Amino acid sequence: MDLICIFTFGRKNKQVTFNGLPNRLKNIVKFVVDYSEKEYFVRKYGIEKVIVIPNKLKGISFARQYVLEKEANYRFIVFADDDVQFSIRENGTLNYSKGKDIINMFIEMKDWLLEKNVAIAGISMRGGNNRELADHKELTRAMDVYAFDRNKLIKENARFDRVKLMEDFDINLFMIERGYKNRVFYKYAISQVHGRNAKGGCSIYRDNKLQEEAAKKLLSLHPNSVSLVQRISKGQWGNMNTTEGGNSSRIDVKIKWQKAYLTGNRKFITQKTFSAFLKK
């Protein structure tokens, strides 16, 4: 990879992702930080290791778009959350990755991106990783840590700021609908050390209103492959509504990734195959 961007907000003393990387990869890391945390990161890591988001831009999707536009000298870029641990599947069991495993993982992801029709390369979540026995899978969810070919995104005029949340879903769907594939590792997996709704990051400003707004916007952008669902999460989930049982309720999305690819690429398949697929 050419550049690893770690997006961090409200967790400046808990840099799990960075601390878990081998030195070879730490050397190509830049922290993407809110203007309010600029002084801390510049003092600790040096100005050359920090991308400061302008104060007028708030939210993860605008931060991602800013980096896409600003870092024009890099082609293969990784976007990573700040609280991720890496694992590798060995003899059917996920074990925490060693430095060489992580290096090899990113090398292979870059090789994928060199293929003409692969735009995004991701890593599966640890939860549910065992449902896929193959080392990797195409046309599926990629989030939290993924790499992309900037040249392909720029060529297609892709943007991260069309939705205020779930921008990772939007960017994947956008590229898939234009004939590219994503490819996601299942040989490796990632997990969020502090949980999906730990203090910091999007949980600071995400609430039911913003979540529902983003879900409905994603549906409007991708009506053939996105549907709305009501999800209940055990326990309290940040600023989301709480049910009588003490769980959290929110409007979320369900995505049919392969349908997005076929719907966006009708000219590449026969009408008979396309019609049969849509009936599934």
Contacts (Cβ under 8 Å, ≥6 apart) of 80: 4, 5, 6, 7, 17, 144, 145
pLDDT of residue 123 exceeding 80, the answer is yes
Cα–Cα distance for residue pair 258/273, rounded to 1 Å: 13
What does the chain come to in residues? Answer: 280
pTM score, two decimals? 0.89
**Residue-wise over 177-208: b if at least 16 C-beta within 10 A, else e?**
bbebbbbbbbbbbbbbeeebbeebbbbeebeb
The three-state secondary structure class of 82 is coil
Q: What is the mean pLDDT of residues 45-57?
A: 94
In the predicted model, is pLDDT for residue 72 greater than 50?
yes
Q: Are 226 and 219 in contact (CB under 8 A)?
A: yes
Instruction: Round to whole Å and give the CA distance between 88 and 86.
Output: 7
Tell me the C-alpha distance between 117 and 153, whole Å.
12
Average pLDDT over every residue of 250-267: 84
Residue 271 binned pLDDT confidence (cut-offs 50, 70, 90): low
Q: Which of 145, 6, 18 is nearest to 63 (CA)?
A: 6
Does residue 267 surpass a pLDDT of 50? no
CB distance 201 to 60 below 8 Å: yes
pLDDT at residue 269 above 70? no
Q: Which residue has the higher pLDDT, 263 or 181?
A: 181
Note the pLDDT of residue 95: 95
For the ranges 8-12, 31-35, 100-104, 243-247, the lowest mean pLDDT is seen at: 243-247
Q: Give the pLDDT of residue 264.
A: 74
Residue 234 has pLDDT above 80, yes or no: no
The pLDDT of residue 273 is above 60: no
